Amino acid sequence: MGSFFGTVFRVATWGESHGGGIGVVIDGCPPRLPLSEEDIQIELDRRRPGQSSFVTQRKESDRAEILSGVFQGYTLGTPIAILVRNTDARPEAYEEMREKFRPSHADFTYQAKYGIRNWEGGGRSSARETIGRVAAGAVASKLLRKLYPDIQIVAFVSSIHDIDASIDPLVVTREMVEANPIRCPDPSAAEKMAERIRQARSEGDSVGGVICCVVKGVPPGLGDPVFDRLEADLAKAMLSLPATKGFQIGSGFAGTRLRGSEHNDPFVPGPAGTIVTTTNHSGGVQGGISNGQPIIFWTAFKPTATIAKTQQTVDVKGNPTDLAARGRHDPCVLPRAVPIVEAMTAIVLADHSLRQKTVDVLPPLPTSNPHRSTQSQI
């Protein structure tokens, strides 16, 4: 029962890497949203395998079919079902995984939990599962752009292995991200990252890295204390992605080394009667609620577990053995994970945007103050 996500904007994803397909059902998307298969395809194409030499060479066109919930180009308010067929499945490449547990992969834990597993290509634990998230994220993004015309959700690769991009996250645009196949907006770092990935691949190895995500144009007020704080739901969304090991927002772990007087973000009057902060150690969220500043967070992705190098492991009977993975896999998941991070971010924000519609329903208090007006934008 872990494949349902969200409270109002709800998604249910399904599918294994080597079954009939992958998909998602979205319930709670408001009616009257213009939506086409093309809206979804654009995002799916960004996560598709085979885009460059840095990612898996599996050949999947990953065509999205909208099966329900859209009529004459608009959402109906009823569930939106989206299907992507699997076509280039080659289960024979995984025959060895039937008998052996890949180190640091999900083979052993799926077997321990379920007492059965689809060993053809990783089954449900395959990153192919994220197709449903990306499709739902495309719908969420479309909704968010209708609700907040200025919203921008931009993720990018900020490090690969020990190579760090040198860039101000706040100036990054999607164009800068898409300018190279690494999806790192610092071209010089991107080149080094590409070389590092090539090298890892040639050695039958893999590398990880960090993705940064920035959201601009979200009004104050999103997030629902205490358990559904905005950063809590973002953290859950990120750590629910395959291969993630960490999340930090605003000042993150480094901020623990500052003093309160250094870390606090002073408030000052902003344009048009708004209130803004002069620094953003908070990362756009205070007390679990967006404060109108850019939301900025980082997600750590470990090096891909499936590698061609020979590794020590055990077989399903528990006997020691070794394994050199065949099958097609990414030597580095980060370039393709960029649209996935954006998709999960959009899903969380769409959900909280609709939730806030249930909060702001009664008239202002009699003794109003001007800053309640910020809320009416929500």
Q: Name the residue nearer to its own copies (CB basis): 43 or 107.
A: 107
CB of 355 to its own copies, least distance (A): 7
CB of 231 to its own copies, least distance (A): 5
CB of 318 to its own copies, least distance (A): 5
The secondary structure element, H or E, covering residue 145 is helix 130-147
CB of 260 to its own copies, least distance (A): 3
CB of 180 to its own copies, least distance (A): 20
Q: Name the residue nearer to its own copies (CB basis): 98 or 173.
A: 98
Q: Which residues contact 28 (CB under 8 A, 6 or more apart)?
A: 6, 8, 9, 10, 354
Q: Name the residue nearer to its own copies (CB basis): 66 or 138.
A: 66
Whether the CB-CB separation of 218 and 148 falls below 8 Å is answered with: yes
Whether the CB-CB separation of 19 and 131 falls below 8 Å is answered with: no
What is the C-alpha end-to-end distance of the chain, expressed in Å? Answer: 32
Q: Name the residue nearer to its own copies (CB basis): 90 or 173.
A: 90
Q: Phi-psi category of 161—alpha, beta or left, where left has phi over 0 and alpha has psi -120 to 50?
A: left
What is the C-alpha radius of gyration for the chain, rounded to an integer number of angstroms?
A: 22
Q: Name the residue nearer to its own copies (CB basis): 150 or 226.
A: 226
Nearest residue to 340 (alpha-carbon basis) of 35, 27, 14, 44: 44
Count CA within 13 A, CB hemisphere, residue 374: 21
